[in-house]
Structure 1
């Protein structure tokens, strides 16, 4: 490997390559990693060997980053990647960076790689994250669908990306319950000089587990049981609808899943998206709401 100082882009590209290579093949020896590195045409077109010293430097740099991944050595010979389950943001960061680097190196395939755009993320996410870091209140001008725009002062607690939309959750002035705002409906947003005290015991993950997107205080936490048929059962195993999802019964052709949550409109939408391959078994009021929605949809096609 050249002794010339690597440009930052090249350096991170090599880090991502190293993580991806060890993750894909697992329990790699340095010799196996070096062999694959010499075969890497994009990052190493000259086929320069990967020295032990350079590998150790890359390994130490990766482990020092807050990426939620760590390259470890087992039995003094094999290398593996260990994921930090308590740092999902770090893991998301390195996965996103890895994907961006791969896309940048594959410009000749730009007509064959299709990605979803996320509206307004590049415009409003930066000032919101800045306010999160410094616990500063945000002055926001917001226009909901079908309503007039209004201004508010928000103490931001956390952000979430879901279904191609970014959301910011926070407390408005003189309120005690969190409210959520979609970034694509924000017209203006800037941090103010006013600060707020973020509660040390607050957990964004626990809040989302209980409430989902939005504030639904009138909906009690409920145990919902659904039955998924055919391939939908496999899909739910791969892509759970909610963190509380548990598979509680399995038989030929179907599986039952239990959720402990507040059944919000978003959750009903997730169930409806499963089409005729999911049936709510309990409780009765959730069954009834699904039936009413299905009947209303059927009316449109009469």
Structure 2
């Protein structure tokens, strides 16, 4: 076999694992852009050291070991990404002020297709979607990096303790201890349950349709009826967040009234329903991007609205149009 053919074969074998590695690194790092950088670094390191790969483990396991080391290096000095609710208490609408923090502060959204491998088993696919939810990935960020890796490998990817111990070059007892501590920390962080996009029933779809109608018509009475009493609204890169439908509606009737006349286009992000949110264009010609709006729904109502405002970053990533025509 020629060297070119061998090279192409190795490329193909490595590429088979790119998407699942990206999902792993996203859960570790909380940013798709950093996750893709980590995976590319993993591929480069694998290429450079392929001669040392002795086949004592599978290529997949070897790549996960490299990716884990890359992520642990990137997570040095206690760095972690967060949601606004991880950084402060909610603010009453009367005291609400917008204060931006740097991009590196925030947990970032992700398109499902960039991190979820095709799964033939519906139960396996459901676990994959569940574990990229914003609330779950945010909870992972509370774990020390090695505990984070152990929990993802054991409980998301279903690796055996012995496999994780080999990957981390430690003992099974150490892995089990780390998993126990990680579970305890996650129990305290307790990410709220959220209905995922592929499992919506007729009532849940109707709820989202009613939300779109209420928001686009700017009917605050109808909108209030759709929100849990303790629903949340956050708007990264601003650290402000609001809790309770009265505060949310108060914001929308005040500073947020610039959203009057908006349009919402359905998307899926982090395994859950989402919308590309557009404002009327300043030049009067159609609508232009305002936010990526990721919804959290449960028990028949909306639990959370996560509006990511850096549209130049998010709309291209989600392949959302940068302008809607006037008739939309």
TM-score bracket relative to the smaller structure: under 0.3
TM-score (norm 1): 0.24
Q: Which has the larger radius of gyration?
A: 1
Higher share of residues assigned strand:
1
TM-score (norm 2): 0.23
